[in-house]
Structure 1
């Protein structure tokens, strides 16, 4: 009989870790487009094929965010996130905020003032990182969400997903009024619930991978067509009125949701086993976001370093765009892998041992029978 404490935990399969990498690449692609200085939202900006391509690059970002949160829901649906993990999430976010603030001030790229320095100590807020703010709250609430999901059962959970999706995704997309319901945290709870549902559902149901890619391609193709029609309509001034094309590609869009769900199922059913280098690289994806989307870094990165608008008229604009996106993506990943090593060594040595008793107390509380809570 094997002693439980000597049982080695099986390594996480790399299929969904690969999808995490794709999700973050799509997010970087989105930021190239929306922060690059090209007025992709303008209904009067001069049209060109490159302008249209730049608009298309922006459509991957919200698909990537949705996919990233789906993955989180899938993995946390069967276990509670440790309180120490939440503390580490705050520490890592804070470390990037304070380091880049001090570095850019020292280099004369950003003005120093005491109020900005003090604000660095409160990095979990929307004007720093909207995604991290909502994601942090999602992880904080995830044990209670998971308890609720288990209480519902698969059939009731699926009914909830359909009803919520109709009112928070289908109707806002068709009416182009996402602000009617808008709450990023509620949307993340919804995506988390989808991840939890698919964890059990995909154990007994198999989907063709070609079908998944076809559904994703068709949904994204509809977005691409709508952008082209909206560009034409917004300049011709037809009786339809102004069309906000990004409503069809934003976070709540039913097309973005379908793309993310189909990509998730595609990767979930991919058989690639455990690849250590994929898992290691995927662990840096959150850091990629924290670096390139830092509110001090990104205005300098896209405008001062890469001068995106200057290349819009070039015949090789799309090659330039993909090269820049890939360079930013990999440099940020490498920087995070290095910084993670430094941060983890200090965290594991000094803070984690002190948080373990608190982890146990929180876990015991969440696992206690309802009559004891």
Structure 2
């Protein structure tokens, strides 16, 4: 029977995470998988030929939440890490998880003959940073290394300066970015903006009580407005340069930002009873992302060749196919990452700790 990890690894200690935010993490990842079902399968191109149908309205709404979900995911990280610190364990666990799935998935594709062995495939397997412009995983890894420096800055800002900094950043990245004034944005810098927002929430909170409206109502309103923007633009803008997802099409766009903050505030304050089941599932959500969105080859194999989303779209069961496929992909990825954590990650770090007596 495996002994408990020594206190040398501080965040391996048993902690009761807030199940409300862990449930939020699960919902966010389901929304991201649904987004990928639509945008990574070729469905968008098919839908554009018949933009006003009811079926297309469903798929527009089903796949619109991916960039909002990215915001939600990073807000959770910032909320907890602004009062924590980076340890060897935390970063190494994250890095090895990324490399593990890169190596295993690419090797499986090579063995199956779906991918050729080449210098590029070796690069895909062994180098975790693929793109700093728009690669979520690459930028998240690099962003993690900035957290100690960001915390020093945050702790030396008073409330007014902190809020002023957020306002300036949102004006540049969100207001100018949404109005399409050619604001160049990459995920790494945007995650820093989100970190300032989530750390402000942790340190000072956001009080809207004087408006006599709760975060639940604010969340519903932001969801309705976001969904409405997609439907209205798809109906009136299909013969214009307007794009359906213009207000939520990237993480810095105004409705993606508003919805993610409102939902985060609602789940943060929601009094949900501790659930071990929810917390265990939530620990696998990053693994779900690493598996199902691992590479362009994975996207091709999963959504186009195996599930054949475009083919299913032309059947009477298109919506059922979408719902079942996303649920099945999520559940299977959760199971895979749970096995990895139990049989690979925990024994590995237990061995590292005992073999090298790492000081952190």
Which band: TM-score by shorter chain?
A: 0.7 to 0.9
Counterpart CA distance in 1 for 2:176 and 2:207 is 31
Q: Does 1:80 align with 2:85?
A: yes
- The farther-off stretch of 161-170 and 315-324 is 315-324
Deviation at 1:204, TM superposition (A): 7.9
Residue 129 of structure 1 and its aligned partner are, at CA, apart by 8.2
The alpha-carbon deviation at position 102 of structure 1 amounts to 1.0
Match of 1:246 in 2: 245
For the residues of structure 1 that align with 2:30 and 2:123, how far apart are their CA atoms?
32
Q: Kindly report which structure 2 residues correspond to 1:173-188, keeping only aligned pairs within 5 A, or say none.
A: 173=178, 175-177=179-181, 179-188=182-191
| Residue aligning to 2:101 | 96
TM-score between the two structures when normalised by the length of structure 1: 0.85
1:323 is matched with which residue?
Answer: 324
Matched, 1:284 2:284: yes
Residue aligning to 1:371? none
- Unpaired runs of at least 5, structure 1: 360-373
Query: Aligned partners of 2:53, 2:207: CA distance in 1, in Å?
Result: 48
Q: 1:157-176 maps to which residues of 2 (within 5 A)?
A: 157-173=162-178, 175-176=179-180
Which residue pairs with 1:345 in the alignment?
346
Post-superposition CA distance 1:181-214 (Å, at most 9, x none): 3121111011111111111234988799973233
Q: What do residues 36-81 of structure 1 show as CA deviations (whole Å, max 9, x unaligned)?
A: 2212597555542212221222211111110000000011011112
- 1:356 Cα deviation (Å)? 5.9
What is the Cα-based RMSD across aligned positions, in Å?
Answer: 2.7
Q: How does 1:264-279 map to 2 (within 5 A)?
A: 264-279=264-279
1:199 aligns with 2:199: no
- Asked if the contact 2:102/2:124 (under 8 Å) is kept, the reply is no
CA contact (8 A) 1:14 1:273 kept: yes
Mapping of residues 38-77 of structure 1, within 5 Å: 38-40=43-45, 47-77=52-82
Matches of 2:345 and 2:44 in 1, distance apart? 40
Q: Closer, same or farther in 2 for the Cα pair 1:14/1:114, shift >3 Å?
A: same
- Gaps of at least 5 residues in structure 2 are 1-6, 8-12
Tell me the matched-pair count.
Answer: 347
* Superposed counterparts of 1:293-372, under 5 Å: 293-295=293-295, 296-353=297-354, 357=358, 359=360
The offset of 1:312, in angstroms, is 2.1
Give the superposition deviation at 1:299. Answer: 1.2
Query: Secondary structure of the residue that 1:120 maps to in structure 2?
Result: helix
Q: Which residue of 2 aligns with 1:140?
A: 145
- In 2: Cα distance, 1:356 partner to 1:205 partner: 49
Rounded Cα–Cα distance in structure 2 between residues aligned with 1:220 and 1:40: 25
CA distance, structure 2, for counterparts of residue 340 and residue 128 of structure 1: 29
Distance in 2 (alpha carbons) for counterparts of 1:356 and 1:208: 54
Closer, same or farther in 2 for the Cα pair 1:316/1:43, shift >3 Å?
A: closer
C-alpha displacement at 1:275, in angstroms? 1.5
Give the whole-Å Cα distance in 2 for the aligned partners of 1:94 and 1:61.
23
In 2, distance between residues paired with 1:63 and 1:257?
Answer: 7
The CA deviation at 1:352 is 3.8
CA contact under 8 A between 1:209 and 1:269: conserved in structure 2?
A: no
Q: In the aligned structure 2, how far is the partner of 1:314 from the partner of 1:211?
A: 42
